[in-house]
Structure 1
Amino acid sequence: MKNLNKIKVFVSVLIVVACTNKTNNVVQLKDLKTYLRVQQDDELIKTQKKIAFWNKKLEATPSQFPYKVQLAGLENQLFSKTGDIQHLKKSEQLLLDAIQKTRSKNSGYLRALAKNYISQHQFKKALDLLQKAEANGDKKQETIKMLFDVYLELGANQKAEMYLGKIENKRSFDYLIRIAKWQDYIGNLEATISYMEEALAVVQAKEYTELELWCITNLADYYGHHGDIQKSYEYYLKALELNPHNYYALKKIAWISFSNDKDVEEAKAILSFLDKNYQGVDVDLLSYEIALYENNQIENTYNSYWSQVQNSAYGDMYNAYNFDIFVHQKKYQKAYQIALKEVKNRPTAVSYSMLALATAYVQNPSSGLAIISSKNVLKSYEPAVRLRVAKVYALNNQIEKIQPLKKELLEAAFELGPVKTKEVQKL
Structure 2
Amino acid sequence: MKKIITLIGLVLLTSCSKEKEFKTDASDYNKYLTDSNFENTSKYYRLWNGKIKSDSSQTLALGNVAKEYGRFFKTSGEITYLKRAERALKKALNEASIGKSGYLRALARNYIAQHRFQEALELAQRAREMGSGVYASQSLLFDLHMELGNYTTASKYLDSIQNNSNFGYLIRVAKWNDHIGDLQTAIRFMEKAKSKADSSKNPGLRLWAYTNLADFYGHDGRIDDAYQHYLMALELDPNNAYAKKGIAWIVFSHERNAKEALRIIEAVKKTNNSPDLDLFKAEIAEYLDNETLKINALQAFQAKTQNKAYGEMYNTHKVENYLGNGDMANKALNMANREVTNRPTPETYDLLAYSHLKSGNQAKALELMEAHVSGKTFEPMAQFHMAQIYKANGYLNKVEALKKELEEAAFELGPNMEKAIQDL
1:288–1:305 contact (8 Å) kept in structure 2: no
2:148–2:344 contact (8 Å) kept in structure 1: yes
- Deviation digits for residues 145-173 of structure 1, max 9, x if unmatched? 11111111111111101000111533211
Select 2:351's aligned residue among 351, 354, 357: 354
Match of 2:370 in 1: 373
SS in 1 for 2:195: helix
**1:9-408 matched pairs, under 5 angstroms:** 26-41=23-38, 47-59=41-53, 61-102=55-96, 106-296=100-290, 297-330=293-326, 331-362=328-359, 364-408=361-405
SS in 2 for 1:377: coil
CA distance in 2, matches of 1:394, 1:355: 17
CA distance in 2, matches of 1:374, 1:219: 32
Q: Letter of the aligned partner of 2:351 in structure 1?
A: M
Q: Structure 1's 361 and 245: CA in aligned 2 closer, same or farther, altered over 3 A? A: closer
- Deviation digits for residues 170-206 of structure 1, max 9, x if unmatched? 3211111111010001000000110011111112112
- Deviation digits for residues 269-297 of structure 1, max 9, x if unmatched? 11111111212122211101111222212
2:391–2:399 contact (8 Å) kept in structure 1: yes
2:57–2:92 contact (8 Å) kept in structure 1: no
- Deviation digits for residues 240-294 of structure 1, max 9, x if unmatched? 2222222211111111111111101110111111111212122211101111222
Select 1:410's aligned residue among 407, 410, 420: 407
CA distance in 2, matches of 1:393, 1:176: 37
1:372–1:378 contact (8 Å) kept in structure 2: no
CA distance in 1, matches of 2:217, 2:157: 27
1:378–1:386 contact (8 Å) kept in structure 2: no
**Structure with more contact order per residue of length (Cα contacts < 8 Å, sep ≥ 6):** 1
> Shift of residue 122 of structure 1?
1.5
What percentage of residue pairs aligned between the two structures are identical? Answer: 39
CA distance in 1, matches of 2:373, 2:231: 38
CA distance in 2, matches of 1:104, 1:366: 55
CA distance in 1, matches of 2:238, 2:47: 26
> Shift of residue 349 of structure 1?
0.5
Question: RMSD in angstroms over aligned alpha carbons?
Answer: 1.9
SS in 2 for 1:233: helix
CA distance in 1, matches of 2:193, 2:423: 41
Q: Letter of the aligned partner of 2:186 in structure 1?
A: T
Match of 2:14 in 1: none
1:284–1:304 contact (8 Å) kept in structure 2: yes
CA distance in 2, matches of 1:102, 1:52: 21
- Deviation digits for residues 292-325 of structure 1, max 9, x if unmatched? 2222122111111211122111122222222122
2:76–2:273 contact (8 Å) kept in structure 1: yes
CA distance in 1, matches of 2:170, 2:50: 40
310-319 or 24-33, larger mean C-alpha shift: 24-33
CA distance in 1, matches of 2:98, 2:394: 54
Structure 1 residue runs of 4 or more that deviate by more than 6 Å after TM superposition = none
- Deviation digits for residues 33-62 of structure 1, max 9, x if unmatched? 222223535xx57x5333333333212653
TM-score, normalised via structure 1 length: 0.89
TM-score, normalised via structure 2 length: 0.90
- Deviation digits for residues 365-406 of structure 1, max 9, x if unmatched? 111111112224332001111111112112223222111111
Task: Specify every segment of 5 or more residues in structure 2 that has no aligned partner in the other structure, as ranges.
Answer: 1-19
SS in 2 for 1:40: coil
CA distance in 2, matches of 1:378, 1:315: 30
Q: Letter of the aligned partner of 1:309 in structure 2?
A: T
- Deviation digits for residues 54-73 of structure 1, max 9, x if unmatched? 33321265343433222211
2:117–2:144 contact (8 Å) kept in structure 1: yes
2:275–2:301 contact (8 Å) kept in structure 1: yes
Q: Letter of the aligned partner of 1:305 in structure 2?
A: F
> Shift of residue 362 of structure 1?
2.5
1:350–1:377 contact (8 Å) kept in structure 2: no
Q: Letter of the aligned partner of 2:297 in structure 1?
A: T
1:99–1:110 contact (8 Å) kept in structure 2: yes
Q: Letter of the aligned partner of 1:370 in structure 2?
A: E
292-301 or 155-164, larger mean C-alpha shift: 292-301
Q: Structure 1's 63 and 205: CA in aligned 2 closer, same or farther, altered over 3 A? A: closer
2:281–2:294 contact (8 Å) kept in structure 1: no
SS in 2 for 1:277: coil
2:143–2:154 contact (8 Å) kept in structure 1: yes
Task: Specify every segment of 5 or more residues in structure 1 that has no aligned partner in the other structure, as ranges.
Answer: 1-22
Q: Structure 1's 26 and 83: CA in aligned 2 closer, same or farther, altered over 3 A? A: same
Match of 2:9 in 1: none
The count of aligned residue pairs is 402
